Chains A and B, each alone.
Chain A
Amino acid sequence: MDLFFFVVFAVVAIGCGISVVLQTHPISSALSLVGVMGALAVLYLLLGAEFIAMAQVIVYAGAIMVLFIFVIMLLNSGGEVRAGRSVIVKVLGVPALAGFVVIIAWVFNSSFSELAQVHFGGFSDGSARSVGRAIFGPYLLPFEVTSVLILVAILGAVVLARKELD
């Protein structure tokens, strides 16, 4: 059952990922990205990380992507026109992609030859309780530093917006 769901949602994630690149209209691409986020959330759920799965949906699919779509709608940008591809892309594109896939497969096969249950960092179950204990225990410093980093980013955005206004 787990394998079945894994295959289904992995295919959905990859399909949506390809669709993000192939779509010509920005809204279609953004919605495909939402599909990738949703499928990833289900994959987290299959790994037993229910808190991270829900956070994935709330933060990425529910907040960040809504802002993306909001901005696209505000600019009301239409579909992009496909430019002719360069000769290098036409000749080397597919072989380069195939080579990349082969390298990735080889790396995984050689270093993780015995596939076992995947674990997230130092804790084995993904319940809200253990995620909270990890964040406010061993990972307290990185967590706080990240929040300062985000604060700096917000201040930067405010400063930039101010300059525009004056």
Chain B
Amino acid sequence: MEFYVISLVKIAVVFAGFMTTLAYLQWVERKVIAHVQVRVGPNRVGPHGLLQPMADIIKLVTKEGFLPSHVHKVFYLLAPFIAVSMALISISIIPFGSEIKVFGYTTWMQLTDLNVGILFVLAISSLGVYGIALAGWSSNNKYSLLGGLRSSAQMISYELPLSLAITAPLLIAGTLSLREIVQSQGGYNFGFLPRWSVFTGPFPQIFSFLIFVIAGFAETNRVPFDLPEAENELVAGFHTEYSSMEFASFFMAEYANMITMTCMTTILFLGGWQPLFPASLGSNYVPPLLLFFFGALLLFNGLNPRRKKDRLSLPVFAVVFFLLGLLFLVPAVKPILVPFFWFAAKVGFLLFTFIWIRGTLPRFRYDQLMGFAWKFLFPAALINLLITGLLVALTAK
């Protein structure tokens, strides 16, 4: 009984957090892209546009769900459902932090741990292709069909280097469970260098990390690999015909896939919730110091405002940051928050990289995209796997 109650509470917390992250990731993306392009970005709804996600949600929910007359109705309605549900399932096995004690209960900051966790994520993400392929086909529109075809071909092709890049750190970790993969990356070489698989021997997985991230961009249909929705060629690709909540489902699926991909990168290569340097060197004080620093920065800018309304909003945010920083110093919640901070910081940095690259790189041509996957990434992943396997076998006890 206790198990069910704890699980339900955890599901509620993870679901609420995940949905909020999804909504605000879109705000962050719009803001970052805007600043990359020397614009301001959303700034009308709420202070600094912070209520923009709410406005978007209200708009999308209340919009009329338009059903074009020439579509295959069943598949047309099934496709966004498949896309969004497959994108949301993977979060259930992501470990956000280490074992915690809340009100006397001991539990993990993870909904469930599968002993074939990696394979589960791969299986679910490979089923996500159906959503996009079916959407493209059932819309009965040449742009959608081309988008759907491109996306399925691209996702099948990039799944190979992606899976091969995953295999190499798995050889070092020796397990398929996500929790054990993170645990195997604990500890430090020479007293300060973390044993994350990008840093540690027998063969540092830096190549495999790069291949995984590149293939991850293609799997999530992001720039520079967003051929399925290349707007100058295909209008909006596979979701040209969709509106209101069906369109929102595809949008959510894209962002959820981004979060899953960055979480997987963090777990496989960047040591999950393990800190960057040991606690003996003071890594537990990084989150409060960072928060205090940003709080002070906000306060300074609030007291010397460039715009009149910043005089009120920035000090309020500064106080929030200071309070959060103080929260990290409370001994009771420290063991919960600190591992989660490190996990969230790594995931956040990778998400920022996704957005940054969207603002920086142009789109590939379609033949370049395919040639890159099959002629460069795939052989590179194979060679990396070969070297890693050889070195792991030679250094095995």
Question: Which of A57, A76, A127 is close to B123, meaning CB atoms less than 8 Å apart?
Answer: A57
Size category of the B interface is 20 to 34
- Asked whether A128 lies within 8 Å of B126 as measured between CB atoms, the reply is no
Q: Is B153 an interface residue (CB 8 A)?
A: yes
Q: Is A74 an interface residue (CB 8 A)?
A: yes
Bound form: Cα–Cα A29–B137 in Å: 15
Given known contacts A58-B122, A63-B156, A73 and B137 CB-to-CB distance under 8 angstroms: yes
Of A3-11, A48-56, A90-98, A111-119, the one with at least 4 CB within 8 A of chain B:
A48-56
Closest to B155 in A: A66
- Asked whether B152 lies within 8 Å of A70 as measured between CB atoms, the reply is yes
Q: Is B115 an interface residue (CB 8 A)?
A: yes
Given known contacts A50-B114, A70-B152, A73-B133, A61 and B119 CB-to-CB distance under 8 angstroms: no
Bound form: Cα–Cα A128–B122 in Å: 15
**Chain B binding site: helix, strand, loop or mixed by DSSP?**
helix
Q: Is B127 an interface residue (CB 8 A)?
A: yes
- Asked whether A66 lies within 8 Å of B133 as measured between CB atoms, the reply is yes
Q: Mark A18-47, 1 if CB is under 8 A from B, else 0.
A: 000000000100010010000000000000
A142: chain B residues at CB < 8 Å are none
Bound form: Cα–Cα A50–B126 in Å: 17
- Asked whether A66 lies within 8 Å of B126 as measured between CB atoms, the reply is yes
B237: chain A residues at CB < 8 Å are none
- Asked whether A67 lies within 8 Å of B120 as measured between CB atoms, the reply is no
Q: Is B130 an interface residue (CB 8 A)?
A: yes
B129: chain A residues at CB < 8 Å are 62, 66
A67: chain B residues at CB < 8 Å are 156
Q: Is B210 an interface residue (CB 8 A)?
A: no
Chain A interface residue count, CB cutoff 8 Å, equals 22
- Asked whether B133 lies within 8 Å of A69 as measured between CB atoms, the reply is yes
Q: Is B161 an interface residue (CB 8 A)?
A: no
Bound form: Cα–Cα A67–B145 in Å: 15
Bound form: Cα–Cα A50–B123 in Å: 12
Q: Give how many A-B residue pairs fall within 8 Å (CB-CB).
A: 71
Given known contacts A70-B149, A73-B133, A73-B136, A54 and B120 CB-to-CB distance under 8 angstroms: yes
Given known contacts A54-B123, A57-B123, A62-B127, A73 and B156 CB-to-CB distance under 8 angstroms: no
Given known contacts A57-B123, A73-B133, A66 and B152 CB-to-CB distance under 8 angstroms: yes
B122: chain A residues at CB < 8 Å are 54, 58, 62
- Asked whether B119 lies within 8 Å of A54 as measured between CB atoms, the reply is yes
B155: chain A residues at CB < 8 Å are 66
Q: How far is the CB of B264 from chain A (nearest CB, A)?
A: 15
Closest to B114 in A: A50
A54: chain B residues at CB < 8 Å are 116, 119-120, 122-123
- Asked whether A51 lies within 8 Å of B116 as measured between CB atoms, the reply is yes
B116: chain A residues at CB < 8 Å are 50-51, 53-54, 128
Bound form: Cα–Cα A8–B136 in Å: 31
Bound form: Cα–Cα A74–B119 in Å: 29
- Asked whether B133 lies within 8 Å of A70 as measured between CB atoms, the reply is yes
Bound form: Cα–Cα A66–B75 in Å: 15
Closest to A126 in B: B116
Q: Is B71 an interface residue (CB 8 A)?
A: no
Q: How far is the CB of A27 from chain B (nearest CB, A)?
A: 7
- Asked whether B127 lies within 8 Å of A128 as measured between CB atoms, the reply is no
Bound form: Cα–Cα A73–B79 in Å: 15
- Asked whether A27 lies within 8 Å of B137 as measured between CB atoms, the reply is yes
- Asked whether B126 lies within 8 Å of A63 as measured between CB atoms, the reply is yes
Question: Which of A55, A66, A127 is close to B156, meaning CB atoms less than 8 Å apart?
Answer: A66
A34: chain B residues at CB < 8 Å are 130
- Asked whether B126 lies within 8 Å of A76 as measured between CB atoms, the reply is no
B114: chain A residues at CB < 8 Å are 50
With A31-B130, A34-B130, A51-B119 known, 9 other A-B pairs at CB within 8 A are A54-B119, A54-B120, A66-B133, A69-B137, A70-B152, A73-B136, A74-B149, A127-B115, A128-B116
* A-B pairs with beta carbons under 8 Å apart, 14 shown: A27-B137, A58-B119, A58-B122, A62-B122, A62-B123, A66-B130, A69-B134, A69-B137, A70-B152, A73-B152, A74-B149, A127-B115, A128-B115, A128-B176
Q: Which A residues contact B (CB, under 8 angstroms)? A: 27, 31, 34, 50-51, 53-55, 57-58, 61-63, 66-67, 69-70, 73-74, 76, 127-128
